[in-house]
Chains A and B, each alone.
Chain A
């Protein structure tokens, strides 16, 4: 299963990554499991663990339970501050 992940704003700067293309092992079926799997890659990914970090799947706000599927575009970002 191959997905694209985007990071925005302060999270992008903290991680030093804007975008990555990943092949996921079987079993990563929702946002919660994806986040755990990403965090397991090492300490550098710790900023992704902050509870305030929100997720979107295919450009729609997602929850921990939102399904992740092949070719999805997942985004992680801090609370929004526009306007």
Chain B
């Protein structure tokens, strides 16, 4: 059985340590990962971003998403970390790491989990700019990214 770890937390995390943990049991031939950051410095001028979640449902939704990935691919390990609270540009928001025997399943499962997380897991972003704060709108491109995994 794959080792699965899911955390929703305020604190930052050590991406290197997460990758080591995924490869740690010696069975993995491949580890693929995704790291998401708070964007900064573009024309939008984001000063900070606050992430809200639905305690309980969010963890459950992430566990369901990882279980779906495990039905599709034979995985050796999955780690998902999503931060909540107020974050500044350049700070890490999300980590998804997948260990498998070969790169194909690791890459695919990592992308699958991110596409599902973006559209199904109850998190909401509020951006602060010089013009005030606003809730980020859901993007159609995220729904399109999800659609390609559906039969």
Contact = CB atoms under 8 A, between A and B. Distances in A.
B136 interface: yes
B118 A59 contact: no
A82 B121 contact: yes
B93 interface: yes
Interface of A: 6, 8-10, 13, 52, 56, 59-61, 75, 77-83
Interface string B82-126: 100000000001100000000000000000001001111111111
A13 B111 CA distance: 32
Interface of B: 36, 51-54, 56-57, 60, 82, 93-94, 114, 117-126, 135-138
Given A77-B124, A81-B136, A8 B52 contact: yes
Contacts of A52: 138
A11 B94 CA distance: 24
A15 B65 CA distance: 30
B118 A8 contact: no
B61 to A, nearest CB: 8
Contacts of A82: 51, 53, 82, 94, 117-118, 121-125
* Interface hub of A9, A60, A83 (most chain B Cβ within 10 A): A83
A60 B59 CA distance: 11
